[in-house]
A = this chain, B = another copy of it.
Amino acid sequence: MRHDAIEHLVGLLSKLPGLGRRSARRAVLRMLQDPPTRMLPLAEALTAAASAVRPCQLCGNLDSTNPCRVCSDPARDQDVICIVEGVAELWALERAHAHHGLYHVLGGLLSALGGTGPADLSIQPLMARLAEGKVREVILALPATVDGAATAHVLAERLAGTGVQITRLAQGVPIGGALDVLDDGTLAAALKSRRAI
């Protein structure tokens, strides 16, 4: 029997975070009730995003323009860079309207256990951005976890000689909590009461 189009689709959808097999089946059935309006637009949006979206050459954000919309917005404060673990955290801060400067996506956290060292993160590109001399403040918006603290420590050491002010999020961030699941108010408050390291 040839590969079944429905089961194949259910299998792919059920791999997405948040969708189990049962929800994937329900989603497929819903879409199959009217494929031209419910299925093909999603296929086209996926194809379009796959071809249009790239990591920003400056900050690492994912966007369909390069440099990304944040980096190319002249209204943003060009002298404050907020360092985030990943794009999810960047998006969460944007949704909170908490930060009006630029970003830098590390692409992970230092992790002795996970075998992630400084060379695996986007630290050299960050140093290059700072070397241009336009940045006044770097905000470390990293999670209050062991790995987050280790990463902040190493970054603070590297940045010590640059003359740039280093701040971090206030302790409004829950210990052990992921940044991208916090409500906007908590994020905004933690950012507002950031303090010098």
Residues in chain A within 8 A of chain B (CB atoms): 1, 4-6, 8-9, 12-13, 16-20, 22-32, 35-36, 39-53, 62-64, 69, 86-88, 91, 180-181
**CB–CB B12/A17 < 8 A:** no
- Minimum C-beta distance from A158 to chain B (A): 26
Q: Is the CB of B50 within 8 A of A46?
A: no
Contact A30 B46 (CB under 8 A): no
**Which residues from B are CB-within-8-Å of A26?**
17-18, 88, 180
Interface of chain A, main secondary structure = helix
Residues on B with C-beta less than 8 A from A13 are: 42
Are A47 and B53 CB-contacts (below 8 A) given A4-B64, A18-B23? no
19 more A-B residue pairs beyond the given contacts A18-B27, A31-B46, with a C-beta to C-beta distance below 8 A: A5-B48, A5-B53, A6-B64, A9-B49, A13-B42, A16-B23, A16-B30, A17-B26, A17-B27, A18-B18, A18-B26, A25-B91, A26-B88, A26-B180, A29-B88, A32-B62, A35-B49, A43-B44, A43-B47
